[in-house]
Structure formats: C-alpha cells, structure tokens
Chain A
Amino acid sequence: MSELSKILVIGSGPITIGQAAEFDYAGTQALRALREEGITSVLVNSNPATIMTDEGIADIVYIEPLTPDVLTRIIQKEKPDGILPTLGGQTGLNLAVELAEIGILDKYGVRLLGTSLETIKMAEERSQFKNLLLSIREPVPRSAIVYSVEEAEAKALDIGFPLIIRPSYTLGGSGGGMAQNPLELREMVRVGLSSSLTREVLLEESLLGWKEIEYEVIRDGADNCIIVCNMENFDPMGVHTGDSIVVAPSQTLTDKEYQMLRSASINIIRALGVEGGCNIQFALSPWAAKKDHAESYYVIEVNPRVSRSSALASKATGYPIARVATKIAVGKRLDEIGNQVTGKTTAAFEPALDYCVVKVPRFPFDKFPLGDRVIGSQMKATGEVMAIDRCFEAALQKAVRSLEIGRRPLLWEDKAWGEDISSYPLYPSDFRLWAIMAALRRGAQVVSLSLKTGIDPWFIHRMMSIVDMEQRFLSEPLTPEILREGKRLGFSDDGIATLADRLPEQVRNLRHEWSILPVYKMVDTCAGEFEAETPYFYSTYEEENEAPPLPERKAIVIGSGPIRIGQGIEFDYCSVHTAWALKRAEVKSIMINSNPETVSTDFDTSDRLYFEALDEESIRDILENETFSSAPPSIVQFGGQTAINLTDPLYRSGMPIMGSDAQTIDMAEDRELFEGFLRLQDIPQPPGGTATTIDEALKVAHTITYPVLVRPSYVLGGRAMEIVYTDSELTSYIQEALELGTKHPVLIDKYLQGKEAEVDAVSDGQGVLIPGIMEHIERAGVHSGDSMACYPPLSLTPEETEKIVDYTVMIARRLHIRGLMNVQFVIMPQSKVYVLEVNPRASRTVPFISKLTGVPLVKIAILVMLGKSLPEQGYTGGLWKVRNLWGIKAPVFSMGKLPGVDTYLSPEMKSTGEVLGVDYTFAGALAKALIASDFMLSPQSSILLSIADRDKAEALPIIRGLFSHGYMLYATRGTAEMIKDKGMEVKAVAKKLTEGYPNVVDVIQERKVDAVVNTTTGERTPLKDGFEIRRAASERRIPCFTSLDTIKVAVEALAYKERIFSVQPLRNYVEGR
C-alpha cells in the first residue's frame, strides 16, 4: 500500500432534515485525526457555518459546491492520494460513487478510503444488499417489487399477510398502507400503482410492533471488530430512527438477544469489508418465535459510514467513532489508536455504560403548526437532544426539558384531548409522548397502551412511574424524602412547583435547605473500572460528586441546544470558537449544551463539558457546583436565543454575565424599550406602535397605513411574524395572539419594502469594529435567515454605507455593547436608512462574515469581554477594509420532507441551512451559491409562472430573460395573457386543480417544468391558492421561486458561461491571490 500523505475529505453540505450538525462533528474529528497522523487534509464543503471549514482544522479548505465537476477540479489541482467519503453523510458517499464511476479516481490515482465502491452501492441497492445478507445467513424481511395487481397477489402468497404496501416515488408518500387480506391488497396495490410515478409498488412483510435496535460497529484493516454501542428505539419499527426517541444501551434485551445481534453486526461488517464505522439497524421480534416467523430478527438497514446514530453513540459512550474510523481508514489498527478518555487503554475495547441515555428528536412543528405531524419512514426532525442520567425516567425528563419547545414540559397536555383516551394521538407523531403521559394520568393500562402503540411495556411502565410520582406531589406534603425521590426521577423544580403548588424558587430553596443537590458523574467509557481523564459530566441525584469546581480562572459557555429552524449550527460554531478563544486567553472554558450532534459537545472542545438542559435550573446548579470562591461568569452571547434568554434569570439570581450586561440585553431584546431607545438616539425606525386589543391595533395600522408588519414583542427568531394588508387580516391576527394568552403586547410596524442589509459588529464599549456589511438579495419582508445575502454589498451608495456604519457605532456605544451585536437595516429610496432590529449577540452570519473578511469575530469579542480593548488587540473601529472577493450566502430548505408546510418566503424563517458561494467575481459567487443551494436553473428548459397582479410589471423583464434563453414558458391564465400580449410564446395551464387538465400541479408532477415562479400578494387567500403549486414543486424537488428578487438573479446567472467560477482554497480568495 502506498504512503498516504494527502487526503481529500468530502463534507455533507448544507444542513437539511436528515443531514445535520453530526457531520460537522464527524468531519472535524476526522480532520484532527489526519493532522495527528501527519497527513495533509483537503476539505471541501459548501456550508460555511461549520467548524470543519475553519482554517486550522483542515490544512486546505475549499468552500465550493459539492458537485462532481467541482470535486474533479479540486482533485486535478490538489492531487490527493486518497479520498475519505464516509464523513459527509449520504452526500459524501454519493459524490464518491459518481467520481469513481466517471473514472476520475482511477485517472488521478486517488484511493477510496474506508469503504469500497461496491460496499457503498451494495448498501443502497436493495436487491444486492438482500442477496449479500442471505449469503451470510443474515435474515432480511421478505419483500418484492411488483408492477401489477396479479403479480402482487402471487407474491403476497410468499410473503404472507399482513403486509406493507409502498408505492415507489409518490408525492408526499401517499398511497401506502397495510393490507390484512387479499381484498385489501388488491385495492391498495391498484391505488398504489396509479400514484407511483414509476408504476411500481413494494410489498414487504409487516414488522408492525417489532423492536428497532441499532448497533454501531467498527472494524479495522486487520479484521478486528468492536461494538461501540447498541441503542434501542422507544418507538417500534415504522418510525424513522431520526424521528424516534432512542435509548442507549438497549433496555429490554436479554444477554442472548444482545449477543445475537452483536454477532450479526460483526458478521455483516466483515462481509461488507468496511474499514471504519458502520451503523446496522435490526428489527427484533418481541414475541416468542412463532411458526410463521422463523426469524427472531431481521436486518433492516446498513450505513457504511459515520451517521447521526454514530454521533449519538459517540456522545452516549465517550468513544470518538469518527476519529477512530479515520485512523483506521489511513491504515491504523484499533490497538494502535490510543483511548483519549482513559489515556492508558486503546481504542480496541467496548465501552461500558453505567447510566442511561435518552435522545429525543426536535421537530419543527412549532414553526410549522400546519405541517403534517404524523411521523413515519420520512424523517421530519431538524435536530435532537440527549440527556444522561442513572435512570430512564430522569433521562427522559431532562431530555424533554432540553427540547426548548416553549411551554411543553412533560406535564403539558393538549386541551382538546379531553377525557376520551381513545381519541388521543397515540399513533406516531410529535405529540405521542405527551399523549401517552396524559392517557396514563387518566387511568389507561400500561399493557393496553403498549398494545396500541407497539412501544415495549418497559418504557410505558417507566412513564407510569413518573405519573405515580406526579400523583404523590399532588397529594402528599412536600417532605425531603418525596422531594429527593422526585429529583431522582428527573422532575424539574418547575414541574414540582406546578404539582406541589409552590414557586420554582421556593422548591429550589427547599432543596438547598434539605441539601438535595445534584452531583455530577463522569462519562468515562468504562463504567468506573479505570481511572479516566475525560472532563465530560452529567447531573444526577446521588451521593458522590466527581466534578469539584475547577480552581483556575474560568467562564461558562452556554450553548444553543437542539438544531431547529432559526437556531442552527452557526451558534454551535460560535460556542466552539468561544471555548477556543478562552483557551488561548488561558481561561478555562466550561461548556453546557444538550445537543449530541455538535462539535461543542465533543469532550475535548472545552476544558469541561456538562451535558445538560439549557434552562435556568440546570445552569444555576452548574454555576453553584463550579463556585470556588465566587461563581464563574457566564457567556450568553454565542448560544443564540437560548443563551441570551438565560441572561435575565441569571442576573436575577445574582450570577455574573460576561460582556454586555443584563440591562443592555433587555434594552435590545424588549421591542418597546428598544423603540424608545432608538427614538432617543434619533435613529430612524419604521413607524409603528403597540397594541393589546383589536381596536388599538386598527388605530395604529390606520395611522401608519398598510401594509404593516405584526409580531409579538419579545420575539423568538422572527416567530409568529406576519405582513398584513387589510383590517380583516389584522383583526384575525390579533385575535389569535390574544387566544395564545401571551401577556406581551403585539407590535405593529410599517412594512417598508426596501433593500435590506445587516451587519455584525464587535464593540469594547468605545470602539466598534464592523467587519463587513451584507446586503440581502431579497427586499425586506423575507426573514434574514431565508434571504440570499451578499458581501460586499451590491448596490449600497456611499451615503447609505456611511449611515449604516454611523448608526451601528452609535447603537453599540449607547447601548454599552461589550462583545457582539447584529443590526438589520432597511434602505428606502433617497438613501433613507431605518433600523429594523438589534440582536445583542452573535448572529447567524458570524461564521459567514468571519470567514470572508478574515476577522475572527468571536475571538475578538471574547478578548473584549476579558478586558482587552479593540486597539489593544490591534483593531481600529469602523468598517473593516473591503475584501476583494464576492461572497453570497444562500438558504437551503428541507420542504420536500415536510408535507403540509408552505414554502412561501415570508418574515417567518423556514430554511434549515445555508451554503456559501465565494469567488473573485460576483457572477462566480452567485453561480456557486445557486448551484450549491439547488436554485440554479438548467439552461433551455421549461418553467411555470404564476405571478400576482401587482408584480406583473416587475416580472416582465425577468420573463423576457427566460424567454430569450430559450425557455419554454408555462403560466397560469392571467400571467399567460400578459406574456402573450408581450409577444412571447406561452402555454396556459389551469390554476385551480378543479379547472381541468393540465392544471399547475399536473405540469409539475409530470415533469413538464423544471422550475416554478410563484408570487402572491402575501394575503391569506391568494397564499392558499398558490400552496398546491409550491408544495408540488418542493415534493418534486425542483426550484420554486417566491420572490422576484431571487428569480431575477437566477435568470442573470443563466447568461453565465460554463466554468464561470473558479475553484480555489478559501484562503486564496480571502487573501486576494
């Protein structure tokens, strides 16, 4: 084997549902491992909000679109010896397969590391996979693909009833189901065949109620195999493992079952020949082997790469799977890789857990209340939380606390559920956990709930033990014994307060009085058998505390919790940089976070890691545990809204905050206070007012005139924000807000449809450094997280730039910002600049602007907080010199996976991730941003247009552009007429689905069009009309433009020649080389 001196690593691209922060975690570990081995790493990823794309993690960083063409150009340039595709999710594997198949890897002598081409394809190709498993005598469920009802009837005889029917390639996963008998089978197959675009239907043996179990296996080149961890899904077969509640290790398996699946896992990884990590999913029968079920288990799926599950397993055990897998891929054996946890043993061992880990998925339905909440084989969660404790009850309760879904503790019940248990949502959905709790509270039997849900009775018994404890709190006086028992079972002070009719603070005081305080235990991979050095802790209510306060100077870094829409991986990026900046300043960093997917919860990111919920109780407990002579200061600016929201409780409990103080933060966060502040500073803001009643609201609206932007004060990432055009819409909005019972008033601002720009700035109280201004491509009204943003600004005049800088400096100084701040502006004609909002914290764009300008914002902010002024750090205030490059950030949506959710761009954020296009020219940057976010139009194809009347004039040049590029135009009636009037050829289609063939949805489903442009007035009724069009487009995975600004630049990009863009390491762009 030739020496490996340079390796190309493929990242996973933007965050989407199913491919989230876990790959930044894996990639970062892998790149560090390569560095330890003295190998030069070349990384390519299109996602700038990642730690892996930082200089200093990889040796050479490319932020470029993940396409075979780009990869080929990088390979030509860098001439790597090997390529590591197993760290970038399915994206990485697919790219590697493409590169191999077009002959690039052979041509340039690049070795595929970790897993072979055959193995990657095998795991994806159902029939090959099945044959391989059968050849090593591993059972797979009986299944068949059929193309007719007759064929289905014949195959059903082999498989047996009941069986599952899944039409292939349908929209929204429709048309499937379970058939109990031939009659149902015929009907379902008939419907399924007609809804399948490929006219094929998969028949599969029903595994309803079987347990779903996962194993994480590692194998090295010498064929040594170990199991890192096994995990049991709380939700039985049928729910995607990413959407399941998962527990580690398995709880209901006997040793014989555990070992049977363990041996099968090793058997499979050997047959696949994977050198590295592999995830294997099994279905395990919960019943005694019946005659017709010869097998007690089936192999369901194999992922020959690191995955979300391997990230979870790593965090659950302390065993760094990605690091070990990488070292194996470059030729190390397990026993040659050190175990960093114990510092003595090697990676050749199996972790032993002495605690219970529970993962709970984080769903986006708080943002998308109209989305289809039923969960199944299509993953819908955007993120997840993990909690560790010594019993399941406590780990589950802590995990639910960590979810941060507003007021939905485990005690929450939907008021609509009532007394009739049979009407509860006990089918798989994001409500099921709460519904089971509610049913238990109303006397439902464990066994009957288990039968109904397929969830193992063991789990429901544990939930019953929580319900029993609730009853005790409700009915018995609060004594030390009962309080201690409640804490042992994971009840929060809040929960106990609610049940025992106290205030949370009173419960806290009682705990102190009675010395009922958490202790912190170490995650050490070996259940205490060996002395370990990991600084990785979880809380529990027991005797021995293993985390005495660190004696050195230190600071608490509050992380950002689960990945959700509006609070993504950017904040983890910031948290990690905070820890690093503290380290460089010789201050010990103590990280608190609940998200297992992230780099921040890697145990060697910080000096100490507490894997805990990010709520007041956990943070205060940790602060008390870390109090040496005084409590250490907390850093709240980098963990998104989660961390900043903790400012007030920490301040009230007398805990020190680093950087901007609580008053500053309150002033910026509280809309009313902030408006008063801006008025006092004479800084323009959109006119507006507040209202708590409908009458007040109408009065404000009439004064400032429609359209207006309405939102509740104290917003969470633009939540519940709407643009309103009429009295009736305003009335219904206010009514809904009043029903929600928020005490905060509603804010009503004039909606200014101007250019939008934003800045991130760092201030030491005097000087204010602005690394750059970012201008949005879309006009105001689209959430900044969903806009394309461009650095340097495209169209700002010097006067506008000056105003933006002046206002930013003024706000930072007068608000006494110490650290970071983000300001959003809207720019109206005649260079009128208005301030929209100020966030007294790191924003989503910090990684983007830091990477493009080379200004390390987080590090500077931390040093400022530690007392080093900007000049002392070598920075002057004001706007940083503009780099000679173009950077365009584009949002990425996961809408194809969320049926029922509208994709229309609005003030509500909807995207799950972002990509960066960077180049020497605007054209290059734009092309890359569009390619990487899947918004690039293909040349000379066809497009469907449905344009609102008020946009028609503005749309005309865009349509002309499309036409002149040889586009075939389809349009709804009004739009078609306009196009025809202007002398262009167009095919009219019906707008309403009831108005004959072809209608808008037909042309999308039948692949007649490759893109859609749909704008509406934004009012509620037209929004409803376009909904079907937009849904059809997202389910077909074709670009759907809902803002003319976006389609305008996309059409511009059509003019670009092939190879308009360069492919260069990021450093070359930044340094202008």
Chain B
Amino acid sequence: MVKQAFLALEDGSIYQGCSFGAEDTSFGEVVFNTSMCGYQEMLTDPSYAGQILVLTYPLVGNYGLSEADFESREVQVRGLVVREHCPTPSHRQDTTTLDEFLKLNGIPGLAYVDTRALTRKLRSTGVMMGILGSEMKAEDALEELKTLPRHDLTDFVQGVSTKETYAWPSPSSPLYHIVVIDYGLKYNILRLLSLLGCSTTVVPATTSAEEILARNPHGILISPGPGDPTQLTYLEGTIKGILGRKPIMGICLGHQLIARALGAKTFKLKFGHRGGNHPVRELATGKIHITAQNHGYAVDADSLKGGLEVSHINLNDGTVEGLSHKELPILSIQYHPEGSPGPRDNVYLFQNFLDMVKEFS
C-alpha cells in the first residue's frame, strides 16, 4: 500500500501526497527546476545540497537511472517532490527505477502532489524552508520548521567538496594543466576540460592560494557549489591570492566568490533560476544564449568595483550572468556552460577560457 507523506512549508502550507524513495523525514530549502529531463543529473548536482527539489515536469523517472548520468559521487538533494514517478522506466541504459534509486540513497520522495500549484506558491512567496516526511504529523512539522537551521546560514561547501586532491583521467598529451577548486563541482566540467585537451587536478575547497599556485597550473577553474556566498568569506582569501596570477574561470558559486573577492556584493533571488531555458545576453556581441541555470543568489551589478564589468545579463530579469575584468584574465559566469542537464550551446566558454590560458602562457 502506498504510504501518505507531506511537504510542510514555512508559510504554513501543507502539500499531501504519497511517499516514495526512502521512508524518512528530511528538511531543506524548497526550490523548483523547470527542466523537462535530466533528473539524475539534478539529483546528483552538489549545488542542491541542503535543498528539497521540486520538478515542474510531471513525469519523472521515465528512462531510469544510469551510471553515466552521475554528476557527483552521490545524491545531493535532501528530498525530491514530483507529480508522478515512473515505476516502469524504459531505456537502453536504465539500471533501476527512481523509487529504488532514492531508497538506495536514503532520500525521501513525495509524489502525486500538485507540483504546479507548489511551483506557483514558491514563485509568488519565494523559496522557503520545508519538511518532507511521512513519519511525523504535518502540524508538528510546521512547529519544527521554526527551529531548524536556515539554508542561508549554513555552509554546505565543506560537505560536498572533495577531501582529497585527485586527478581526472586526462588525454594522453594534454595541452594545459588546469586546477579545479571543488566547491561542489559537477563531473561534466571535468569531462569537458578533458575533451578539450586538458589535464585537471581537483583540489579541496580549503586549499590555499600558495598550494594551488605551487602546482603551477596553466589556469584555474573555480567550481559551482551550494549555498549563500556570504557564508563563505573564509574562501575569499584563496581567491584573492590567485586573481591575476593565473587565468581564472569561475562558474556559478565560483563566479559569485570572484565578485565578492573583488569587493562586489551578492544577494538572494526570490525563487532563484533553475532550469535549462534561461536566455542570457552577451553584452559584447548582443548575442542571446540559452543556458542551464541553477542559482539562488546573484551578483549585485551596482556593487561592482575593482575593474569588474558585467559581460552577460539575464534577459528575463536583467540580473548579472557573467563578469569580465578590465585588466585581469577572468572569465566569470553565473550559469552552467557544462549543461548536464541543459543545453550544450555554451561549451564554447570553456574554449574561450583555454584561449585566455593560451594567451597568458
């Protein structure tokens, strides 16, 4: 028999549905993503640490799950909310169902919820903390929500970053050596760098500037990751230490931290940008790019200083989507050129970064 479960939100609203995945209770910031496929990539994206993910596409799990679609070692979301999960997936690569996969990973899921109503709620109220559970009363959950640590005030990077430095399999005669600082990176960044002829060394978030520079890389990539950049001031020293010393590419959280290291401010978006269809304008050319996005915070354009300039803006709400620097070799991008899930239109940015690397060395 299907077990009842619920999602309780800070504003007192409760969404009833059926439990799937692990029979457990979890809490987190409730966010929605509008991508129509790529659920496994999302589930394993470390940027979702501490979050309960709502998928707006109603049919999830259709093609099963596969070894090839992991973006990190494990499932990163705290919970998953869907309209419907598929008990009979079909695909040549499928190994398991979504239900089994979540059970295996100890992650609770909630199904048969009016996810569109929930999305509209999050859109109008803004993202909120929530509890997803079947083991307690929804009313008690509302009480408990008041006492739980807030997402904005939590440092998730420590939890998702690699503990050990490691090298990603590289091509036989690499063109460049890139150090990737792992704040919660997605494997596809490493796959693409390798494809473009780079060897990569992934280092933990807390690695110092000196240690990084000592590896004498051709360039440094500062990865995406979860949470509010204002909680991560301890990382800014490292970034300051490498700025200008090597060509740097920052993605998402990496981009926000570069901006903060150069004195800019970041702020929280009402309900974030999460999906694979966000239009971005590249200011230098006027070109529009369709991008994969997953961020709840953005750089405040009015706070830019220290030579930083806006290079890309979001066409929907005008927020900053990319920065460049008047003098320093910096390519700083808010969205996800690595896609996975999402369009591959922006892979060229990695090439731009490597061009910058080439010019610098």
Seen from chain A, the residues whose Cβ lies within 8 Å of a Cβ on chain B are 222-227, 249-256, 258-259, 262-263, 266, 286-288, 333-335, 344-346, 348-356, 390-392, 446, 456-458, 461, 464, 521, 526-531, 542-544
Shortest Cβ gap from B350 to chain A (Å): 15
Q: Once the chains bind, are A255 and B38 in contact (CB under 8 Å)?
A: yes
Shortest Cβ gap from A795 to chain B (Å): 62
Question: Most A CB atoms within 10 A — which of B58, B68, B275, B339?
Answer: B58
- Chain B residues 84 to 137 lying within 8 A of chain A, measured CB to CB, are 84, 86, 88-93, 114-117, 119-120, 123-124
B69 within 8 A of A: yes
Q: Which of A286, A390, A464, A528 contacts B119 (CB 8 A)?
A: A528
Shortest Cβ gap from B99 to chain A (Å): 14
Closest 9 CB pairs of A and B: A255-B38, A544-B117, A350-B277, A458-B90, A543-B114, A527-B56, A528-B119, A461-B88, A255-B341
Q: Once the chains bind, are A392 and B59 in contact (CB under 8 Å)?
A: yes
Interchain residue pairs with CB less than 8 A apart (29): A225-B345, A226-B288, A249-B36, A249-B37, A252-B62, A252-B63, A252-B90, A254-B69, A254-B93, A255-B37, A263-B343, A345-B279, A345-B315, A349-B316, A351-B277, A352-B36, A354-B34, A354-B56, A354-B115, A355-B58, A392-B59, A458-B62, A527-B116, A528-B116, A528-B120, A530-B316, A531-B123, A542-B114, A543-B114
Q: Once the chains bind, are A346 and B56 in contact (CB under 8 Å)?
A: no
Q: Once the chains bind, are B35 and A352 in contact (CB under 8 Å)?
A: yes
Complex alpha-carbon distance, A1013 and B12, angstroms: 79
Q: Once the chains bind, are A255 and B116 in contact (CB under 8 Å)?
A: no
Q: Once the chains bind, are A530 and B116 in contact (CB under 8 Å)?
A: no
Seen from chain B, the residues whose Cβ lies within 8 Å of a Cβ on chain A are 32, 34-38, 41, 56-59, 62-63, 66, 68-69, 83-84, 86, 88-93, 114-117, 119-120, 123-124, 271, 275-279, 281, 286-288, 290, 315-316, 339-345
Q: Which residues of A contact B68 (CB under 8 A)?
A: 256
Shortest Cβ gap from B195 to chain A (Å): 14
Shortest Cβ gap from B55 to chain A (Å): 9
Shortest Cβ gap from A450 to chain B (Å): 8
Q: Which residues of A contact B41 (CB under 8 A)?
A: 255
Complex alpha-carbon distance, A727 and B288, angstroms: 75
Q: Which residues of A contact B344 (CB under 8 A)?
A: 259, 262-263
The total of Cβ contacts below 8 Å across the A-B interface reads 164
Q: Once the chains bind, are B92 and A288 in contact (CB under 8 Å)?
A: yes
Q: Which of B58, B92, B124, B316 contacts A390 (CB 8 A)?
A: B58
Complex alpha-carbon distance, A240 and B117, angstroms: 38
Q: Once the chains bind, are A461 and B90 in contact (CB under 8 Å)?
A: yes
Q: Once the chains bind, are B277 and A252 in contact (CB under 8 Å)?
A: no
Question: Most B CB atoms within 10 A — which of A254, A258, A531, A544?
Answer: A254
Q: Once the chains bind, are B278 and A255 in contact (CB under 8 Å)?
A: no
Q: Which residues of B contact A348 (CB under 8 A)?
A: 279, 288, 315
Complex alpha-carbon distance, A266 and B290, angstroms: 12
Q: Which residue of B lies closest to A248 (CB)?
A: B36
Shortest Cβ gap from A794 to chain B (Å): 58
Complex alpha-carbon distance, A251 and B86, angstroms: 11
Q: Once the chains bind, are A528 and B123 in contact (CB under 8 Å)?
A: yes
Q: Once the chains bind, are A544 and B114 in contact (CB under 8 Å)?
A: yes
Q: Which residues of A contact B117 (CB under 8 A)?
A: 542-544
Q: Once the chains bind, are A266 and B345 in contact (CB under 8 Å)?
A: yes
Complex alpha-carbon distance, A227 and B289, angstroms: 12
Q: Once the chains bind, are B288 and A334 in contact (CB under 8 Å)?
A: yes
Q: Which residues of A contact B32 (CB under 8 A)?
A: 528-529
Complex alpha-carbon distance, A528 and B57, angstroms: 10
Shortest Cβ gap from A337 to chain B (Å): 11
Other than the known A354-B115, A391-B59, A529-B119, what 17 A-B pairs have Cβ atoms closer than 8 Å? A222-B286, A252-B90, A255-B342, A256-B340, A258-B38, A288-B92, A346-B279, A346-B315, A349-B278, A352-B276, A354-B57, A354-B119, A392-B59, A458-B88, A461-B88, A527-B56, A528-B116
Q: Which of A223, A356, A391, A529 contacts B275 (CB 8 A)?
A: A529
Q: Which residues of B contact A335 (CB under 8 A)?
A: 279, 281, 288, 315
Q: Once the chains bind, are B123 and A529 in contact (CB under 8 Å)?
A: yes
Shortest Cβ gap from B119 to chain A (Å): 4
Given A259-B342, A391-B84, also A254-B58 (CB < 8 A): no
Q: Once the chains bind, are B37 and A258 in contact (CB under 8 Å)?
A: yes
Main secondary structure of the interface of A (DSSP, over half): loop
Shortest Cβ gap from B14 to chain A (Å): 11
Q: Which of B34, B124, B315, B316 contacts A527 (CB 8 A)?
A: B34
Q: Which residue of B lies closest to A351 (CB)?
A: B277
Complex alpha-carbon distance, A900 and B45, angstroms: 57
Shortest Cβ gap from A529 to chain B (Å): 5
Complex alpha-carbon distance, A521 and B56, angstroms: 13
Q: Once the chains bind, are A349 and B290 in contact (CB under 8 Å)?
A: yes
Complex alpha-carbon distance, A187 and B330, angstroms: 67
Q: Which of A256, A263, A354 contacts B345 (CB 8 A)?
A: A263
Q: Once the chains bind, are A354 and B88 in contact (CB under 8 Å)?
A: no
Q: Which residues of B contact A254 (CB under 8 A)?
A: 37-38, 63, 66, 69, 91, 93
Complex alpha-carbon distance, A263 and B120, angstroms: 31
Complex alpha-carbon distance, A59 and B91, angstroms: 52
Q: Which residues of A contact B93 (CB under 8 A)?
A: 254, 288
Complex alpha-carbon distance, A576 and B91, angstroms: 44
Shortest Cβ gap from B83 to chain A (Å): 6
Question: Most A CB atoms within 10 A — which of B37, B86, B276, B343?
Answer: B37
Complex alpha-carbon distance, A253 and B66, angstroms: 13
Q: Which residues of B contact A521 (CB under 8 A)?
A: 116
Q: Once the chains bind, are B116 and A259 in contact (CB under 8 Å)?
A: no
Question: Most A CB atoms within 10 A — which of B38, B59, B66?
Answer: B59
Complex alpha-carbon distance, A334 and B287, angstroms: 10
Q: Which residue of B lies closest to A458 (CB)?
A: B90
Q: Which residues of A contact B316 (CB under 8 A)?
A: 344-345, 349, 530
Q: Which residue of A lies closest to B58 (CB)?
A: A390
Q: Once the chains bind, are A544 and B59 in contact (CB under 8 Å)?
A: no
Q: Which residues of B contact A251 (CB under 8 A)?
A: 59, 62
Q: Which residues of B contact A345 (CB under 8 A)?
A: 279, 315-316
Q: Once the chains bind, are A259 and B279 in contact (CB under 8 Å)?
A: no
Q: Which residues of A contact B339 (CB under 8 A)?
A: 255, 259
Q: Once the chains bind, are A456 and B90 in contact (CB under 8 Å)?
A: yes
Question: Most B CB atoms within 10 A — which of A224, A528, A542?
Answer: A528
Q: Which residues of B contact A354 (CB under 8 A)?
A: 34, 56-58, 115-116, 119
Q: Which residue of A lies closest to B121 (CB)?
A: A544
Shortest Cβ gap from B5 to chain A (Å): 15
Shortest Cβ gap from A355 to chain B (Å): 7
Q: Which residues of A contact B120 (CB under 8 A)?
A: 528, 544
Complex alpha-carbon distance, A493 and B142, angstroms: 39
Q: Once the chains bind, are B279 and A349 in contact (CB under 8 Å)?
A: yes
Shortest Cβ gap from B172 to chain A (Å): 23
Shortest Cβ gap from B296 to chain A (Å): 14
Question: Most A CB atoms within 10 A — which of B32, B35, B36, B345?
Answer: B36
Q: Which residue of B lies closest to A260 (CB)?
A: B344
Shortest Cβ gap from A457 to chain B (Å): 4
Complex alpha-carbon distance, A223 and B286, angstroms: 11
Given A348-B279, A352-B35, also A457-B90 (CB < 8 A): yes
Q: Which of B63, B92, B340, B343 contacts A262 (CB 8 A)?
A: B343
Q: Once the chains bind, are A544 and B116 in contact (CB under 8 Å)?
A: yes
Complex alpha-carbon distance, A248 and B288, angstroms: 25
Given A286-B92, A353-B57, A461-B88, also A226-B114 (CB < 8 A): no
Shortest Cβ gap from B197 to chain A (Å): 19
Q: Which residues of A contact B271 (CB under 8 A)?
A: 529
Q: Which residues of B contact A262 (CB under 8 A)?
A: 343-344
Complex alpha-carbon distance, A391 and B57, angstroms: 10
Complex alpha-carbon distance, A456 and B36, angstroms: 19
Shortest Cβ gap from B347 to chain A (Å): 9
Q: Which residue of B lies closest to A345 (CB)?
A: B316
Shortest Cβ gap from B43 to chain A (Å): 12
Q: Which residues of B contact A346 (CB under 8 A)?
A: 279, 315
Q: Which of B275, B279, B340 contacts A352 (CB 8 A)?
A: B275
Q: Once the chains bind, are B56 and A352 in contact (CB under 8 Å)?
A: yes
Q: Which residues of A contact B84 (CB under 8 A)?
A: 390-391
